Structures are given as structure tokens and as C-alpha cells.
Amino acid sequence: MPAVWHALAVVLPRSAVAEASRSLLALGATGLMEDVPTGTALRFKQPWDTGRKPRPPATVMLRAWFRHRPEPKALAMALPGREVAWTEEPEQDWNEGWKVHFQPIHVSDRLVIAAPWHGVPNAVVIEPGNAFGTGEHRTTRSCLAEIDRLATPGGSCLDVGCGSGILALAAAHLGMRAYGMDIDEDAVEAARIAAAANGLLATFDARPIAEVEGSWDLVVANLYAEVIAALAVDLRRLARGHLVFAGILSDRAHLVEAAMSGLEQVHRDDGEGWTSLTYRVPA
């Protein structure tokens, strides 16, 4: 019979969590997690928020995992007066289980993104977990669709904030000369490894955008609206065909629209709170 975990959940005031955690560990819990009580809206501080940090909720859902349920009396002493809920969870092979969620992304017949274990012929292969950009996120997928629509073999593509390199590699796969840059050195390294693994000619480095030269047929940037607006002068300077933006929270799209004023907006995609915008830049 497969092994089972006994999972306990208890709602507590935040001030009682440390003591309860110690007691549950003493009763044999092998793992603990602080969660948000059901029905509580959590708000994280966003990069553009000024002022005070949002307060964490006053109550916490503490979860604990046991191989064997503790004696009810011992549990009642550990969590006096608290109502606990138990569920049973089957053992999972986490190293393998998470892979199930990654499915190949079929952008078009000529552009498919897949993980190494999918074994999809002629796909751009991205190893999940090395940097942002597996194609799972809506913002990445909308950029991939625009790259597929706008790529011209022999043209050039600049990927600003390349993460895993997925967008530059997609452009290279479609015959473009591709260059990606990122402020995160680890992402640049992951992108270089992915380029080599795919046998694609794309270059990556951590140069700041102000130092990037030339003009590019396609400039893609999956970045927050605030970052796109801050980099707008360089983004406009470097583009001579199309500018593709994603990563824009829909209620911030006006920031990008203001920063790109005067350029023709040729595509807009809204969904799940995200907006993607494409502009045509006169050559």
C-alpha cells in the first residue's frame, strides 16, 4: 500500500504560531507550513507601491504533516481549545510529480516549446527551473505568439529581460539573429546553456540596455509596465520594426501607452489581469 501523510490544519492567531509549531514538532510533525486562512485576501507589496507594507492577516492557517497521527489527548494538550482538521495525502515523488504540470506549448506548427523529457522533435527545449520563462506564464506565451507572427528569417531580435532565453531562442529558431540581455547573471548563464543545448545561435549577456547598440527588427520585453516606461527611451531607440511588450498589469497599461505615444499600436491582448501591447516603429 502506498505511504500516506496525515495533514493537519489549524487556524491560530499569528502570535500563537511559534508555540504551536514547537508543540507539533514535538508530537512528530515532519513538516510545517504557514498558509492563509480560507477566505482571507492576501495583498503583497508591489514594486510600485509606496508607503507602508500591507499588514499580514491576523490569523494563520498552520499546516503540519505527520507519518502517524498523534494521540488525540496529546494533540488536545498541544493545541488547547483549537479545532483541527485532518486530511490524508498520498506520498508523491516530488522530483517527478511537478513535471506532469509542464506540457509542451504549441505556439504554431513551426514553434513549439518543450521540456527535455517531452522529446518533441524540432521544439525549442527549455529546462524549467533555471530562470523565469518556461512558456507557462501567460505573458511569455503572448510574446511567443507575437514573435511567431512577426519573425522574419534573416531579421534581428533583441530580447530585453531574457530570463531563460525563451523569447530570443524562439526568434533564433525562426531564423532571426537573436540577442538577449538581463540584469540577472544567473538568467544569462541559463540562457547561454539553453542556446548551446538547442544548437541555436543566440547571444546573451548582462549589459545594461543603455549600452546596447544597433537597431533591431523586433524588440521584445516581458517586463512590468513601470520598467518598460523607465526604459522607454532606449527601447524606442533600439527598435526599427516592432516593439512587443508583455508583463504589464492591465491597470498599469496606460504607463506603457504614454511612454510609447506617437507609435502605432498594432496589437493588444488582455486577459487574466495582464496586457500585452505591440507597436510598429517606422524604419
| Dihedral sign from CA coordinates of 237, 239, 241, 244 | negative
To the nearest whole angstrom, how small is the minimum distance from the Cβ of residue 16 to ligand SAM?
A: 38
- Asked if 184 is part of the footprint of ligand SAM (rule: CB under 6 A), the reply reads yes
Choose one: 30-38, 56-64, 132-140, 254-262; the region binding ligand SAM (CB under 6 A): 132-140
To the nearest whole angstrom, how small is the minimum distance from the Cβ of residue 235 to ligand SAM?
A: 10
Site for ligand SAM in 222-281 (CB under 6 A): 222-223, 227, 231, 247
Distance between CA atoms of 124 and 177, rounded to whole angstroms?
15
| C-alpha cell at position 18 | 511559534
Q: Where are the alpha helices (DSSP H) in 199-270?
A: 225-230, 232-238, 253-259
96 vs 211 by CB, closer to ligand SAM: 211
Binding mask 190-209 for ligand SAM (x = CB under 6 A): -------------------x
Distance between CA atoms of 280 and 266, rounded to whole angstroms?
6
Residues 6+ apart with CB under 8 A from 177: 154, 155, 156, 157, 201
Binding mask 85-114 for ligand SAM (x = CB under 6 A): ------------------------------
Q: Which of 8, 105, 150, 160 binds ligand SAM (CB under 6 A)?
A: 160
Choose one: 22-30, 74-82, 147-155, 175-183; the region binding ligand SAM (CB under 6 A): 175-183
Which residue type is seen at 263? Answer: L
- Asked if 140 is part of the footprint of ligand SAM (rule: CB under 6 A), the reply reads yes
Distance between CA atoms of 121 and 101, rounded to whole angstroms?
20
Choose one: 6-14, 43-51, 149-157, 161-169; the region binding ligand SAM (CB under 6 A): 161-169
- Contact by Cβ (8 Å): 86, 93: no
- Contact by Cβ (8 Å): 134, 126: yes
Distance between CA atoms of 207 and 6, rounded to whole angstroms?
50
To the nearest whole angstrom, how small is the minimum distance from the Cβ of residue 76 to ligand SAM?
A: 47
Query: What is the SS3 assignment for 223?
Result: coil
The 8-class DSSP code of residue 262 comes to T
Choose one: 29-37, 60-68, 160-168, 264-272; the region binding ligand SAM (CB under 6 A): 160-168
In this structure, the dihedral spanned by the alpha carbons of residues 261, 264, 267 and 269, taken in order and rounded to 10 degrees, is 10
- Asked if 70 is part of the footprint of ligand SAM (rule: CB under 6 A), the reply reads no
To the nearest whole angstrom, how small is the minimum distance from the Cβ of residue 132 to ligand SAM?
A: 4
Contact set with ligand SAM (CB under 6 A): 132-133, 140, 143, 159-163, 166-167, 181-184, 187, 209, 222-223, 227, 231, 247
